[in-house]
Chain A
Amino acid sequence: MTLFYFVDLYELDRNAKQKKIATFRMQESEQGMIEVDGDHNYPVLENIKNEGIFDYKNAKPGKLYLYDGMNFLENLKYYFRSGYLLATDVQKTTVDN
Chain B
Amino acid sequence: MVEGQSFEKHETPKPEIGPGVDIESVLRGEIEEIDDYYEGYWPIQRVKIKDDGTAFFKTETTEPESPYYARGDYETIAIKLDRLLGFNIVPISVKRTIGEDRGIMECFIDDAEPAIKFSTYWPLMTTQQEIAQAAVFDYLIGARDRHAGNFLINSETGKIWLIDHAVDMFETGRHGSLIYDEARGKEISDETLSRIVALLEKLDSMSIEEVAAYAGETVDVSSIWKRIRENAVALVNAKVIL
A interface with B by C-beta (< 8 Å): 8, 10-12, 14-18, 20, 43-44, 46-48, 50-51, 53-54, 56, 59-61, 77-89
Contacts and interface: CB of A to CB of B under 8 A. Distances in A.
Contacts of B39: 8, 10, 18, 20, 86, 88
Interface stretch (B41-49, B196-204, B208-216): B41-49
B40 A87 contact: yes
Contacts of B147: 53-54, 79
A40 to B, nearest CB: 13
Given A14-B110, A54-B147, 9 more contacts: A10-B38, A16-B110, A44-B117, A77-B42, A79-B149, A81-B40, A83-B56, A83-B106, A86-B38
Given A16-B46, A16-B54, A16-B110, A86 B40 contact: yes
B27 to A, nearest CB: 14
Contacts of B174: 54, 59-61
Interface of B: 38-42, 44, 46, 54, 56, 58, 67-68, 106, 108, 110-111, 113-114, 116-120, 145, 147-150, 152, 163-164, 168, 172-175
**Interface SS of chain B:** loop
B127 to A, nearest CB: 20
Nearest to B55: A16
Contacts of A53: 147
Nearest to B163: A82
Contact of B67 (A16, A78, A86): A78
B151 to A, nearest CB: 9
Contacts of B111: 14
